Amino acid sequence: MYVFLFTVLYFEVFLLVSFLERRRVSSTGSADASIVDTTNLPRVCVVVPCFNEARTLRTTLHSLLGLEYPKEKLEIVVVDDGSIDDTLIVARSFEHDSRVRVFHKENGGKHTAMNLALLHTQAELIGCLDADSIVAKDALLGIIPVFENKKVAAVTPGIHVREPRTLLQHMQKVEYRLSLFNRFAFATLGSLFITPGPFSFFRTSVVRELGGWRHGHSTEDMEMALRIQAAGHLIANAPNAVVHTDTPATLIGLSRQRIRWSYGWLRNAIDYRRMIGNTRFGNLGLIILPSALLSIAAGIFFFLSAVWSILQEIIQQITRIEVTGVLTPPTITDVFYLNTSAVLFLIVVSMILIVVLISIGSFVGTNSRRPPLATPLFLLFYGFLAPLWLSIALVRAAFKTGVRWR
């Protein structure tokens, strides 16, 4: 218990101090990325891989066509990956615009759609936008300046939850604000290990040099990020490049998504285990990857500890009823008693730090220091949800059962 709590606190404080020390550094971040020389912009290809996305594709393409970027330097490649709905019809209705090209192929997965687009573009930079996401008009102009650093091979945006409706989506909004901070902090440390689907961009030459996208255990974005860093390149972050993405509205949908993400992370970590603890890979190998793995173990441990405590309380209540015939409600608060448990103190401090990091994430992504209103719900309930899919993913990763995208 103390080892896990210390590790969690150390990691939170480490990221916070790193952020405070390097928040003005733009070599691998994006603090100064708002100044753009529009006379010398690179040619850019945005790939939209689709599988049964007829419902959302139209809005996604409209947002891409509204980007503030020279028309002659922007190409949008829509790849219909064997859809069985009206995705192809919707995509082809945009072909009247010279920037849009549409390809149709048999279903083979997102990585095959990305590789098909890679074969048909000569753009200097290639990026991806999931068909359930929309981008701000100036998002691309927020990403391009970061590539001025020749060591940077990929840039990730600032991802936000799009129009949350359910309580679960509002809790995910809080999670994404925390992720905004984490990605920015990881980028300043040169240690980003994921290039998420919504609007991450890559140097086309580097992608070709590395052999294109791979299946990556249904998480090609994680695999590509690890491969880029294993090859000695950097991944940067541009939180001012705003992207809004749809998130699961139900617990079942969220669980399926997170099991896939967690499974992919674990299997890719095994594939790239040579990086873990390796001084050649700097902060990524020595701190970030080991901490990410340890956080999975800590999450499952704390969840099982909480479940065990609840079961013990239930057993004690049953015993009291059998002996005395009276149900004794558990004491939650007592004005005459202050719990000075070191474990409780560390947990409270950790929760406070999480709120601080969420607030910083809000500032990095929205210039507002206020955490989302659903932050208390996130702190109370999300910690009990995450270990469920982490445990399932861990079992699947151990037995190599694989996961399905849908």
Over residues 121-141, mean pLDDT? 97
Over residues 306-330, mean pLDDT? 81
How does residue 28 score in pLDDT terms, banded at 50, 70 and 90? very low
Give me the chain's average pLDDT, please: 90
Q: Pick from 251-255, 291-295, 303-307 the range whose average pLDDT is largest.
A: 251-255
Residue 332 has pLDDT above 80, yes or no: no
**Tokens read off for 218:** 């249904």
**pTM of the complete model:** 0.89
Number of CB atoms found within 10 A of residue 22's CB = 18
Pick the residue with more confidence: 26 or 103?
103
Q: Locate the domains of the chain by residue range.
A: 22-289, 291-399
Which region among 163-172, 184-193, 298-307 has the lowest average model confidence (pLDDT)? 298-307
First to last CA, the chain: 36
Q: What would be the CATH architecture of the domain defined by 22-289?
A: Alpha-Beta Complex (3.90)
**Tokens read off for 223:** 């695999």
Give, as one character, the DSSP assignment of residue 354: H
User: Long-range contact list for 33-37, CB < 8 A, 24+ apart?
Assistant: 33/142, 33/143, 33/145, 33/146, 33/238, 33/240, 33/241, 34/142, 34/145, 34/240, 35/145, 36/141, 36/144, 36/145
How far from 117 is each of 42, 71, 129, 247, CA to CA, in Å? Answer: 18, 19, 13, 26
Residue 27 has pLDDT above 60, yes or no: no
